[in-house]
């Protein structure tokens, strides 16, 4: 696939890099493999000048702003014997200054192009801030919402995550043959199987079969690499006993030899030194030997490579050829970025921060990513005069909570609150904002007082969920119920008899089962970003019809996790007909809301469904055609989903797998003919030899509104030839 890593520009960059490489001293070469955080600036000034003069710095992370990065770059290049610009990097995951919905939210739009647009806007702002490299997209498959980093990825499904991974890479890097101005190089992280951490406990071991590793966790990385991702980040966790950051099988045999990756690998922060904690390395020198030997080109962050690679080279434990190969991959990317031609950025570029175009995109995306879970007809709000607004997410200091994780570079004060959004959208309504709700324990009388005041209004809007830091890195939770007394608050509001519209803002699926049948509407808004209040108001007033669909299962109880739709059948598939089947005795079978689920203010109907054939060859393709009609009262977008099941195979297969989807907007009463393509290659799975195979046999397929919808099922066969 054409991308920046196989373009003419890449080849030219590599030639220039090779020529420069031959002029460098060993110290300067190893300096290119060393990334530093802002610590080099905050503590030891001597270290700063020595490092620059000796050429020991190749990259920086978390240094931000045109003025600061230009100053550092100028100092560095003036002091080095051989001027080599540093590459500045940061976690631009869902925005730089303007913040867009979190990646888990974006995936619920089922619109990869939306993610491409958000990533491109984020790149433009980050470039203006002096950055050339983002540590994103995060493409870790997550099946356990106890893991707080589910917020940073694109959900539980490999097919959908792969589509979003490629879109994010294209957005960050651009579609040209080099990143060029206003773009960043991307970084596929965290390689690999970080989301498979046992118990959903961050940094924990990942113990997955080789087949599952290749079939579930690796394809999103391959999709990003095929889209041209220039870098990959090695993960903290061990994979089946070998730390990812010292895993030669993953970093070299698979990533480079099998996937054809030509960029460079950076370790996660401190992951090389942590090989000692893993019990995989004796000391820092041994850790460097194992990480560099496995395929980690650049160290994040500090002097471990500078301090240890020369001795390891001397001892013959690493070779100059290996060092040259890593340095060449990094210098090639620097030339590809045009860093040697333009090592500095124009400070005027920062006027793009929070520009109208980006704010409009944030507002649009926030509305597209929300998922309507329940609605008894109260939404969209029509002609409501008195509204009570409460909940910890409406608290004035709660602006940062609506941004989600990795927004250290954003400006929470620019966040549009739910109150502000509502008042702007329905200026004639009397909106009583009731303070006092918190994320922690509230006394019964405090809850009663809020409920009593709320009861005076016609409709109550309760915004509950998680604080900003509750998800994200190190944000693992053992309990997915709403924290504090939020659940009691919502139920008390319901007990007033007034209709309650419950907004849920969190970085992960939460347990919402107690609200079913109680709240009038349940809208999962995730963490929408800078324009949160306007996005929410657009949804509540019907200016935008919700079209989000879940990309992660919402459990009934925490005890159900890990929970995901594409699970094997087992010999005792649960349907509740007897005791002896694979289920929990103390909660319903399956999730509260399944993967793919999402409601609308309108309804859609599928008709005239046909398959191009009921049999295809192993190299064939099936076309599924249907008519989708908007049969309701509102314009809206439908997400047609295509699921398949391989009924009999040489390895047990999931009861269902997403193999296609299409989002289409239909005005009320309109119909559209939709065609979904299902190549037989899409039915491949990883066999015991770790090869992708398509096995002949019987299959089922469904066109569906979510993974539990089996109203439109068809049988087809893959023939032997
Ligand atoms: C963190 C994260 C990683 C991030 C890096 C740099 O520990 O694991 O996702 O890119 O450090 O901030």
Picking from 638, 643, 639, the residue whose alpha carbon sits closest to that of residue 624 is 643
Please list the helix, strand and coil fractions of the chain in percent, rounded to the nearest 5, in that order.
35, 20, 45
Please give the number of the atom of ligand 1 that sits closest to the Cα of 190: 9
In this prediction, residue 46 carries a pLDDT of: 54
**pLDDT tens readout for residues 677-717:** 999 999 999 999 999 999 999 999 999 999 999 999 999 99
pLDDT at 441: 97
Q: 3-class SS at 568?
A: strand
Query: How far apart (Å, rounded) are the C-alpha atoms in residues 229 and 570?
Result: 37
Give me the CATH topology for the region 371-547: Rossmann fold (3.40.50)
* E strand map for 268-385: 299-300, 371-375
Interstrand relation of 521-524 and 386-390 (parallel, antiparallel or unpaired):
unpaired
For atom 1 of ligand 1, which residue has the closest CA? 269
Q: Would the CB of 646 count as within 6 Å of ligand 1?
A: no
The pick from 269, 409, 472 for probing ligand 1's pocket by mutation, whose C-beta has the most ligand atoms within 8 angstroms, reads 269
User: How much distance in Å is there from the Cα of 269 to the middle of ligand 1?
Assistant: 6
Check residue 347 and give its pLDDT: 95
pLDDT score for 452 = 98
The Cα–Cα gap between 618 and 374 comes to 42
Residue 554: helix, strand or coil by DSSP?
strand
pTM of the model: 0.98
Q: Which residues pair with 463 in a beta bridge?
A: 503
Q: Is the bond preceding 270 in cis, omega lying within 30 degrees of 0? A: no
d(CA 565, CA 596): 9
pLDDT one-digit tens code per residue, 56-83: 999 999 999 999 999 999 999 999 999 9
**Cβ–ligand 1 contact at 202 (below 6 Å):** no
pLDDT digits (tens, 9 = 90+) for 407-435: 878 899 999 999 999 999 999 999 999 99
Which residues are CB-neighbours of 356 under 8 A, at least 6 positions away? none
| Closest by CA position to 337, among listed 119, 87, 95 | 87
What CATH number does the domain located at 4-19+29-348 have? 3.20.20.300
Tell how far the Cα of 71 is from the centroid of ligand 1, in angstroms.
Answer: 25
pLDDT at 622: 98
Domain ranges across the chain: 4-19+29-348, 371-547, 604-718
Predicted confidence at residue 200, as pLDDT, reads: 98
In a mutational test of the pocket of ligand 1, which residue from 39, 91, 140, 265 has the highest number of ligand atoms less than 8 Å from its CB? 91
Structure tokens belonging to residue 691: 């090869």
**Cα separation values, 405 from 18, 94, 139, 511, Å:** 39, 9, 15, 20
CA–centroid distance, 135 to ligand 1, in Å, is: 7
191 close to ligand 1 (CB < 6 Angstrom): no
Query: Residue 560's closest CA among 519, 594, 600, 528?
Result: 594
Q: Could you identify the atom of ligand 1 that is nearest to the CA of residue 236?
A: 8
Above 70 in pLDDT, residue 104? yes
Ligand 1 site, residue 91, Cβ cutoff 6 A: yes
Q: Which residues make Cβ contacts (< 8 Å) with residue 35, sequence separation at least 6?
A: 58, 59, 60, 61, 89, 266, 298, 299, 300, 301
3-state SS class at 630: strand
Q: Report which ligand 1 atom has the smallest distance to the Cα of 91.
A: 10
Q: Of the candidates 152, 146, 147, 151, which has an alpha carbon nearest to the alpha carbon of residue 134?
A: 152
Q: In this structure, which residue's CA is closest to atom 8 in ligand 1?
A: 268
Residues 6 or more apart whose Cβ sits within 8 Å of residue 241? 205
Backbone angles phi, psi at 242, to 5 degrees: -115, 115
Catalogue the active-site residues: 268
- Which of 135, 194, 301, 471 maximizes ligand 1 atoms within 8 Å of its Cβ, making it the mutation to test the pocket? 135
Mutate to test the pocket of ligand 1, among 139, 300, 473 (most ligand atoms within 8 A of CB): 473
Q: Which CATH superfamily is domain 604-718 in?
A: Immunoglobulins (2.60.40.10)
In 3D space, the residue among 167, 188, 225 whose CA is nearest the CA of residue 5 turns out to be 225
Q: Is the pLDDT of residue 119 over 70?
A: yes
The candidate with the shortest Cα–Cα distance to 103, out of 131, 132, 142, 65, is: 142
Q: Could you tell me which of 638, 555, 561 has the C-alpha nearest to residue 591?
A: 555
Per-residue model confidence as pLDDT tens digits over 10-29: 999 999 999 999 999 999 99
Q: How far apart are the C-alpha atoms of 562 and 212, rounded to whole Å?
A: 15
**Cβ pair 99, 369 in contact under 8 A:** no
In the reported structure, the alpha carbon of residue 84 is separated from the centroid of ligand 1 by a whole-number distance in angstroms of 25
Q: What number does the ligand 1 atom closest to the CA of 189 have?
A: 9
Span from the CA of 83 to the centroid of ligand 1 (angstroms): 28
Query: What gap in Å lies between CA 84 and CA 65, rounded to an integer?
Result: 20
CB of 189 within 6 A of ligand 1: the answer is yes
The pLDDT of 210-218, averaged and rounded, is 98
- Residue 330 pLDDT: 98
For range 253-277, the mean pLDDT: 98
CA of 62 to the centre of ligand 1 (A): 10
Question: 123 alpha carbon to ligand 1 midpoint, in Å?
Answer: 18
Cα gap 369→523, rounded to integer Å: 11
In the chain, the percentage of residues whose pLDDT exceeds 90 is 94
Yes or no: say if 624 and 662 are a contact pair by the CB < 8 Å rule: no
Average pLDDT over residues 224-231: 98
- The sign of the dihedral angle between the CA atoms of 631, 633, 638, 642 is negative
- Asked if omega into 192 is within 30° of 0 (cis), the reply is yes
**Which pLDDT band, with edges at 50, 70 and 90, does 47 fall under?**
low
The 3-state DSSP class for residue 358 equals: helix
């Amino acid at each position: 696939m054409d991308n920046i890593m196989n373009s003419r520009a890449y080849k030219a960059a590599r030639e220039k890099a090779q020529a420069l490489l031959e002029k460098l001293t060993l110290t300067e070469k190893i300096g290119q493999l060393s990334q530093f955080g802002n610590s080099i600036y905050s503590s030891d000034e001597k270290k700063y000048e020595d490092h620059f003069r000796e050429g020991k710095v190749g990259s920086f992370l978390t240094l931000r702003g045109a003025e600061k990065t230009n100053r550092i770059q100028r100092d560095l290049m003036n002091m080095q014997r051989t001027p080599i610009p540093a590459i500045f990097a940061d976690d631009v995951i869902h925005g730089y200054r303007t913040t867009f919905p979190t990646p888990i939210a974006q995936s619920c739009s089922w619109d990869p192009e939306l993610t491409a647009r958000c990533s491109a806007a984020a790149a433009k702002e980050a470039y203006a801030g002096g950055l050339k490299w983002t540590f994103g997209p995060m493409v870790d498959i997550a099946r356990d919402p106890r893991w707080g980093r589910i917020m940073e990825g694109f959900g539980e499904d490999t097919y959908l995550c792969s589509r979003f991974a490629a879109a994010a890479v294209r957005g960050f890097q651009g579609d040209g043959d080099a990143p060029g101005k206003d773009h960043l190089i991307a970084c596929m992280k965290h390689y690999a199987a970080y989301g498979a951490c046992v118990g959903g406990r961050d940094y924990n071991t990942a113990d997955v079969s080789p087949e599952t590793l290749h079939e579930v966790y690796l394809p999103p990385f391959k999709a990003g690499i095929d889209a041209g991702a220039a870098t990959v980040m090695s993960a903290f966790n061990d994979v089946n006993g070998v730390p990812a950051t010292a895993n030669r099988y993953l970093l070299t045999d698979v990533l480079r030899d099998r996937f054809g990756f030509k960029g460079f690998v950076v370790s996660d922060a401190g992951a090389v030194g942590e090989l000692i904690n893993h019990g995989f390395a004796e000391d820092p020198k041994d850790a460097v030997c194992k990480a560099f030997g496995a395929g980690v080109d650049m160290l994040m962050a500090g002097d471990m490579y500078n301090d240890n690679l020369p001795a390891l080279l001397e001892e013959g434990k690493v070779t100059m050829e290996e060092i040259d190969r890593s340095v060449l991959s990094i210098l090639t990317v620097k030339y590809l970025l045009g860093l040697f031609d333009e090592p500095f950025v124009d400070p005027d570029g920062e006027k793009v921060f929070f520009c109208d175009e980006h704010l409009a995109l944030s507002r649009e995306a926030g509305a597209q990513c929300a998922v309507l879970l329940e609605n008894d007809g109260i939404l969209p709000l029509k002609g409501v005069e008195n509204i009570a607004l409460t909940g910890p997410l409406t608290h004035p200091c709660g602006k940062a909570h609506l941004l989600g994780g990795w927004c250290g570079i954003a400006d929470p004060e620019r966040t549009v609150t739910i109150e502000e959004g509502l008042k702007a959208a329905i200026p004639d309504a009397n909106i009583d904002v009731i303070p006092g709700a918190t994320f922690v324990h509230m006394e019964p009388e405090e809850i009663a007082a809020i409920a009593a005041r709320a009861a005076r209004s016609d409709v109550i809007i309760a915004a509950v969920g998680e604080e900003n830091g509750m998800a994200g890195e190190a944000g693992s939770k053992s309990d997915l119920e709403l924290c504090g007394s939020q659940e009691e608050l919502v139920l008390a509001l319901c007990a007033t008899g007034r209709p309650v519209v419950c907004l849920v803002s969190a970085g992960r699926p939460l347990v919402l089962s107690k609200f079913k049948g109680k709240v009038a509407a349940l809208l999962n808004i995730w963490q929408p970003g800078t324009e949160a209040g306007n996005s929410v108001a657009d949804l509540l007033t019907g200016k935008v019809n919700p079209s989000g669909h879940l990309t992660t299962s919402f459990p009934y109880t925490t005890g159900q996790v890990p929970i995901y739709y594409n699970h094997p059948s087992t010999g005792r598939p649960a349907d509740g007909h007897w005791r002896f089947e694979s289920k929990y005795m103390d909660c319903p079978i399956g999730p509260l809301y399944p993967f793919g689920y999402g409601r609308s203010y309108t309804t859609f109907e599928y008709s005239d469904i046909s398959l191009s054939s009921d049999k295809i060859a192993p190299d064939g393709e099936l076309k599924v055609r249907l008519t989708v009609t908007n049969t309701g009262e509102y314009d809206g977008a439908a997400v047609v989903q295509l699921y398949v099941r391989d009924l009999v195979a040489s390895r047990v297969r999931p009861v269902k797998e997403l193999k296609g989807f299409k989002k289409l907007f239909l005005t009320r009463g309109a119909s559209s003919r939709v065609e979904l393509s299902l190549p037989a290659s899409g039915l491949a799975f990883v066999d015991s030899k770790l090869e992708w195979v398509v096995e002949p046999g019987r299959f089922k397929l469904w066109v569906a509104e979510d993974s539990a919808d089996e109203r439109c099922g068809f049988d087809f066969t893959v023939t032997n030839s």
